[in-house]
Structure 1
Amino acid sequence: MRALFLTGVMSVLATGCSLTAAGGLDECETSADCQSDQVCTQQVCLPLPAGCKAEPYGSTDADAIRMGGLFPLHTSPEPGASEDESDIQGFNAALLALEEVNQRTQGKNRIALYFCDTGSSKDVAEKQARWLVNDKKVAALLTAGSSQTLAVADVAIPAGVLTMSYSASSPELTAKPDTNGGTVGLLWRTSPSDAIQGSVIANLLRSDSRFGAPSKVGILYVDDPYGQGLANIISEQLSTGPTRVANRPVLYQRGGDVKAVLDSLDMTYDPDVTVLIGFADDATAILREASTRFNLKRENGHRWFFSDSVKDATVLADSLAASQARSFYGTAPAQGTGQAFNTFSARFSDKYKKDPAAYAYTSNAYDAMYLLALGASYSLSTTNAVTGVKIAEALNRVSSGTSSTSTQLTNSNFTGLAAQLASGQSVNIEGASGPLNFDVNGEARAPVELWQVSDTGFVTIANNLEP
């Protein structure tokens, strides 16, 4: 994957602008007329946003369907930042779906996916979204993460561009106004809300014998909408009902020094178990540092419980972090169990030589790209153009079919599903991530899986947990 990313983002374009416009800007006909860090926009060479690729993935035809992909492939926008392995695999999953769709379409039905690496920054994501919306004229944006998705949606919704996230789980997305004065919502996600995951985590800690009925629970969370939302839900659930559990939420800053935070947990609270809500790079640093704190050492009885974003092979690549995490549990949205997941898993493994189930949200990214393609096909068939509103209309027809059975969202079923939507029918779809039963808020409710850290990876213990 690293070779794919570096080849795409760092590739240089031919130079040689022949004309100079007023103000010193070079005129152009295509981006090949511009310098390597520029892109041809309305016949003028303008700076290419940092992290963005000038040429799209998928189709390069001038009349292709234009979509944007905003993926946090690095943990920071700063040079030399480490890669985010989970989102690299999410990007790979989306590219696999894009390849399969374009194999089954032609001409203006094919998709061009303009790509930007957000560096895990919502501010960078917002700037990149403005370029994709205003200059590339995309009809939809595929995003990751709650903070970045909320920032991107603020750009996309007023422009009538649809936002689809494969990993944004904050409950804040549920309440965000997204109709832009129309009748259909423009903010969608294939990842379930953390209202589900948070309740499952609280129930497990409160009543499951594997967790030893802890009397004190620490909740260590990244200070962003994802961490805040999930921490609040877990804390509220543990603090109510007949079986209450003392808990203390403690925040940390993404990429920051966690020593003082761990000192607070260690010396002033001494939890029996700590729920870690954060991303893989931070989780690695936290586990390493916690191994030096008496009350947070596994050998002294402390246990960890992990949220979905910790399910990342990067954590296990660090021997000390892996030794601290081994045998402990975590949760994530469950993978599908039908043919759609089996087909996706086999093809992903063949192409990328990795198990997609070893990372959270790979199947959600795959489904998200397929759903955008189905929406675009419907939009073209009804208006001969692709718009965010028409894509949303198509998504409203997903999971509203009258049949009691679902169609598996596999590569071989795509053409038939597109034809059904184009003919005005509604369909029920089961994707690689499970049933895509969207509600009025553009969310697909899904069960939660319980996984455990083993010597070699992540083992699924259960995949059907509900609040």
Structure 2
Amino acid sequence: MIKKTLLCSAIVAATAMTSLAHAEVKLGFLGGFTGPIESLAPPIYQGAQLAISQINEQGGILGGQTLTISSADTTCTDASAAINAADRMINTENVVAIVGALCSGATIAAANNVAVPAGVVMVSPASTSPAIAEINDNDLVFRTTPSDSYQGEVLARLLLSKGIKEVVVTYVNNDYGQGLANAFSATYEAEGGFIAANAAHEDGKADYRSELGSLASSGVDNLLVLAYADTSGQTILRQAYESGNFTQYIGADGMVGDALVNAVGADVLEGMIATRPGKPDIPGTEAYAEAARAIGMDPNAVFASQAYDAAFLLALAIEKNGSAERAGLNEALRAVALPPGEVILPGEWEKAVQLLAEGKEINYEGAAGTQDFDERGNVPGVIEEMVVRDGSFQTVGLIE
């Protein structure tokens, strides 16, 4: 009887060990896979998946468990879709934390209605609206990309430095467009620029000729479009060209994608100026670029490096927290992202796990920047100038 009891205990223990070895720790990804950024979303998701694959190749998380990531579509512009996607991730998939959302309105909707009430950390790689910092989030909402309050200022000064002293502006009527337009306008006008017309537009329409006619009536031929490459931004640029009223096209991060150039025409957009969050010249950026190139991924894909950092940071925070529990993850996230501590670069998962096991502090220096969160979950960042040249968006350089 004693032998049988011992045998049963051994079987139970072995089963438990096998179960632990095959256990999963799950992250969620909220992306705009359909809608106005559908051509931008897949490379962003691929950036997060790259981080996950490196972690699993280096032994997994929490003592050998597999880290996985599930995705859901917010559509970018539909608050209900964003809420439903977050609800599925948090309450059905039972994810520990979320990478995302991408579009600012989706992040705000998901955070306010689902994630914050459930105590779930969100790290967005692409939500740039200044309104993100105003969420009453209980220190649960972070981002790995700089706020548009900074990008708008930089874009304004870039145009002025090029002698573009008057523009007309149209922006998509949501948190992203409004925040970026406000930041741009304040700096541009304060520093001597003239905005001849400034008008919101609704996303997803088939015809913007009326709006373009109003803008063109000012006589200014420099058109700044703060919108999305796959929907209103694309349609506006195509119809602006057809009108013959504009000669210089300008955009920001939501417009940067070769799908836009292909749809509107390389000859039409040749010389278009744009800005987007960039990557500083630090060791982490090259470590990420090498890993991305090794799997055939474009290391310069917009917001992909930020998604990598979001996923890697959340994994580090889970490891630091010592469990797949949601409680305490925000404090652990700050602990692994901020100095002091031994620097961890992209891909250095085994090194980080060893240091944490030894009770040492670590400081992640990422693919897209240092990722030093401030009290509102914002990070410092750099902005790079883009230009359409020879049929694609090309990087001119970081803007000082």
For the superposition of Structure 1 and Structure 2, which TM-score range results when normalised by the shorter chain?
0.7 to 0.9
How far apart in 2 are the matches of 1:454 and 1:422?
A: 49
Partner of 1:123, secondary structure, is helix
How far apart in 1 are the matches of 2:20 and 2:147?
A: 35
Q: Deviations over 1:59-98 (max 9, x none)?
A: 998731122111112217xxxxxx8221110011111111
Correspondence for 1:312: 257
Correspondence for 1:440: 375
User: Is 2:310 the partner of 1:356?
Assistant: no
Indicate the larger mover: 125-134 or 340-349: 340-349
User: Is 2:109 the partner of 1:151?
Assistant: yes
How does 1:33-52 map onto structure 2 within 5 Å? none
How far apart in 2 are the matches of 1:448 and 1:60?
A: 44
Closer/same/farther in 2, CA of residues 309 and 249 from structure 1, 3 Å limit: same
User: Is 2:133 the partner of 1:188?
Assistant: no
User: Is 2:73 the partner of 1:117?
Assistant: yes
How does 1:68-467 map onto structure 2 within 5 Å? 68-75=28-35, 84-106=38-60, 109-120=65-76, 121-143=78-100, 144-154=102-112, 155-179=114-138, 185-206=139-160, 208=161, 210=162, 212-214=163-165, 216-241=166-191, 243-256=192-205, 257-266=207-216, 268-282=217-231, 283-296=233-246, 298=247, 303-318=248-263, 320-351=264-295, 353-357=296-300, 359-380=301-322, 385-402=323-340, 407-411=343-347, 413-421=348-356, 425-465=360-400
Please tell me the residue identity of whatever aligns with 1:371: L
Partner of 1:397, secondary structure, is helix
Q: CA RMSD in A?
A: 2.3
What is the CA distance between 1:327 and its match in structure 2?
Answer: 1.4
How far apart in 2 are the matches of 1:102 and 1:295?
A: 54
How far apart in 2 are the matches of 1:275 and 1:389?
A: 44
Gaps of 5+ in 2: 1-18
Q: Which has the higher contact order (CA 8 A, sep 6+)?
A: 2
How far apart in 1 are the matches of 2:39 and 2:222?
A: 27
How far apart in 2 are the matches of 1:456 and 1:361?
A: 21
What's the TM-score, normalizing by structure 2? 0.87
How far apart in 1 are the matches of 2:49 and 2:140?
A: 22
Gaps of 5+ in 1: 1-58, 77-82, 180-184
Asked whether the 8 Å contact 1:273–1:304 carries over to 2, the reply is yes
Q: Deviations over 1:89-113 (max 9, x none)?
A: 0011111111111112346632221
Please tell me the residue identity of whatever aligns with 1:169: T
Q: How many residues align?
A: 375
How far apart in 2 are the matches of 1:313 and 1:75?
A: 16
